[in-house]
Amino acid sequence: MEQLLRAELRTATLRAFSSPGAGCISEGRAYDTDAGPVFVKVNRRAQGCDPQPLLESELTAVFWMQARQMFEGEMASLEALRGTGLVRAPRPIKVIDLPGGGAAFVMEYLKMRSLSSQASKLGEQMADLHLYNQKLGEKSRAEENTVGRRTEGARPQYVTQFGFHTVTCCGFITQVNEWQDDWPTFFTRHRLQAQLDLIEKDYADREARELWSQLQVKIPDLFCGLEIVPALLHGDLWSGNVAEDDSGPIIYDPASFYGHSEFELAIASMFGGFPRSFFTAYHRKIPRALGFDRRLLLYKLFNYLNHWNHFGWQYRSPSLGTMRKLLK
């Protein structure tokens, strides 16, 4: 592994200065290099794939494709977030294929601590991020009405649809991000239905199937009268994917796409959640719209379903309970 890293990074220096750490999906380690410290995430597994029907050569290909796809989606997400200039995230460097399958993702190393004093600032930054595409649209329309306008050089483009230019992974589950004009359609098809298809495949849960058949026809009602402008999202903004240092807040491990800004707030309020100051600062810039609480419940449903698919039956009860609440 270290010989491969030296060659790919073109560094004579490669000195580990942290112990290997394992998350739910990948393991990671920090190294000093000629160009400065880097953090390397490694994934050798094809999570969510059933290896039984596969030949050994086919299984190696699945390992390689799954890990590379996951890291390429994360790299594209970091590039998009950093490209706004509004939030701080590690600079992605390179995705490397590993011999025998799997991949490594090399990025800038940032010394981080748990988010605390910078929570309010993160709330402001995330609101600015969610407003970024809307402001691009406003600026673009204003310039279209300006006689003699000249545009010099490349500039960020206003995004009119919901989705992303590449596949991303939330955990180890691949997310389809095909562009859609309509947010409820995108969210229902590519987020909720995709999760429920996996639950049907692995659990064949009759109650989940019945509740979903009732709920899906009611989803458009939750968005009546609401104008939703596509917002660039982190996509998995829970407390384990944010941090801070003396310079301010840091976000990492994204699964980005253009979606409804409220989607981001669901997981931010789950599984430990963020300090209240985060939400106070956020809503000063983006006030809660009518129907916010019920839509937040819908977005929490996605996260419960995603956890059911990752971690098993303990998330069945909150998933089904959330569906029942939404049907009342």
Q: Could you give the residue numbers annotated as active site?
A: 236
Q: Phi and psi (nearest 5°) for 34?
A: -60, -30
Q: Give 52: exposed, middle or buried? Use CB within 10 Å, 0-12, 13-18, 19+.
A: exposed
| Separation of alpha carbons 43 and 71, rounded Å | 9
The residue behind tokens 């931010």 is: 268
Q: Tokens 């890990």 appear where?
A: 67
The 3-state secondary structure of the chain reads CHHHHHHHHCCCCEEECCCCEECCCCEEEEEEECCEEEEEEEECCCCCCCCCCCCHHHHHHHHHHHHHHHHHHHHHHHHHHHHCCCCCCCCEEEEEECCCCCEEEEEECCCCECCCCCHHHHHHHHHHHHHHHHHHHHHHHHHHCCCCCCCCCCCCCCCCCEECCCCEEECCEEECCCCECCHHHHHHHHHHHHHHHHHHHHHCCHHHHHHHHHHCCCHHHHHCCCCCCCEEECCCCCHHHEEEECCEEEECCCCCEEECHHHHHHHHCCCCCCCHHHHHHHHHHCCCCCCHHHHHHHHHHHHHHHHHHHHCHHHHHHHHHHHHHHHC
Rounded Cα distance, 205 and 126, in Å = 37
Amino acid identity of residue 206, one-letter, is R
Neighbours of 77 (CB within 10 A): 27
